[in-house]
Each structure stands twice: as structure tokens, then as C-alpha cells.
Amino acid sequence: MNILFLCTGNSCRSVLSEAIFNHLAPEGLKAISAGSQPIGRLHPRAVALLQEKGISTEGYYSKSWNHLPVTPDIVVTVCGSAAGETCPAYLGPVLRTHWGVEDPGHVVGTEDEITSAFEKTYSIIRARIEAFLALPLTELQGDKARFKAELDRIGTLLA
């Protein structure tokens, strides 16, 4: 199963999601991330946070949803603007859900406030991914409506 974490810029939240998911997921589950308008670089604080948490950042980069290596089974938007965009037609009838989280890359404040914002975003994303990985995925694949409801419920978790 392939999960696409989608955000407009593909530099922070979607990359955090991709890396955390791939770090925690068992074999057979893989995440990728992309942006509708990628900025072409990863946010340095996102990379530093992942490394601090012991999560590899090797091979991750800001990329367009027009150049995905695989067709996703599930699309998870993590920013409000991406949630409102129409996915490219080539993605087909994938399950879509929105797991919105504030962009820590836009926080202005003291060093402690910015660090706190990144930590909060990391905690929310990780809690949602752990909840996803705890689902009875084989069972849910046969019931798309229930699967969608579970995905939407996970998007409300705040760590």
C-alpha cells in the first residue's frame, strides 16, 4: 500500500509525514510526499528535527505530484490549501483524507517558540501515523466507506 502525503510546498509537513511513516511502517507499506507547487527544498528545521529523532532523511526531497514514482492508494493532505485542490486525474479513484496541521515553518517568534511549534507538529503527525498503523488495514481495504471514516477520524487526533 502506498500513501501520498500532499502539501502545496512539499518542504515541511508532508516530508515530516513521509519520513515518520516510513520509519514506523512495516514492510509492504510505503509513504511518499509531494506538492502541487513544490518549493524545491526541504525546510532545514524539519530535516534537523527528523535527524534529532533518529529518523533518516536520506533520499527525501521536495517534489511535484506530477513526478510520483508510484500511484498512491491513499492521498493524505496535510495543509488546507492542498485539501482544496483537485488531485491530478492520473491518481484515479484513490481514498482521500485531510489531516491538517499548522505549518511550523511559518511560525515567527523566539527560538523556543519556533522549536515548540515544530515539536507539536511532529507529535501530531506521529500520533496520527501510529493510529493509522494500528488499524486493521487488510479488513478495511474491503470496506472503503469504513476505511475513509477511520482515516477522517485519525485526522482529528491532536497527539
* Catalytic positions: 7, 79, 87
Residue 29 belongs to what H/E stretch?
none
Residues written for the chain: 159
Residues ≥6 apart with Cβ < 8 Å to 91: 4, 65, 71, 72, 75
Residue whose grid cell is 483524507: 97
* Separation between Cα atoms, residue 51 and residue 66, nearest integer Å: 28
* Separation between Cα atoms, residue 45 and residue 50, nearest integer Å: 9
